[in-house]
Amino acid sequence: NSGPLERCRPKPTDERFNGEFTLRQWVAEAFSLAISDVIDDHLLKQNNSETILNELLVMIMETGLSCPKKAPTERMDMKEVVARLKTIRRKASPLEE
């Protein structure tokens, strides 16, 4: 039984990511096209509340994509990251019931 990160496609070691093009850039580009291409299908099918789940996934991806930017001024402030993650957790709580 493998976890979502083990099934991630593509892998961080993929040959495409050997130069200027990074996994973060690939996710950012794919994110703008279709979140379902980036997120493991297993995660998308775990709950019937698709609208809320998709909103939470978007928030998680946006937060994650803002952190590894090269320029520190482009990165999300850690206080804002914590606040967003708390909001995501609060919104996800009803989905766990």
Tally the domains of the chain: 1
Instruction: Say if 4 falls within a structural domain.
Output: no
Q: Which domain holds residue 49?
A: 15-96
pTM of the shown model: 0.53
Question: Residue 69 falls within a domain, yes or no?
Answer: yes
Tokens representing 3 are: 């976890």
5 pLDDT tier (thresholds 50, 70, 90): very low
Whether 47 is covered by a domain: the verdict is yes
Q: Is residue 72 part of a domain?
A: yes
Q: Is the pLDDT of residue 62 over 90?
A: no
Q: Are 69 and 75 in contact (CB under 8 A)?
A: yes
Which of the two residues, 96 and 43, has the higher pLDDT score? Answer: 96
Q: Which residue has the higher pLDDT, 61 or 79?
A: 79
- The mean predicted confidence, pLDDT, of the chain is 72
Q: Is residue 81 part of a domain?
A: yes
What pLDDT, in 10s, does the model give residues 11-57?
Answer: 666 777 777 777 677 777 766 556 655 566 665 555 556 667 777 88
Whether residue 8 lies inside any domain: the answer is no
The answer to whether residue 91 sits within a structural domain is yes
Structure tokens at 7: 């099934």
In a domain, 10, yes or no: no
CA–CA gap between residue 21 and residue 9 (Å, rounded):
16
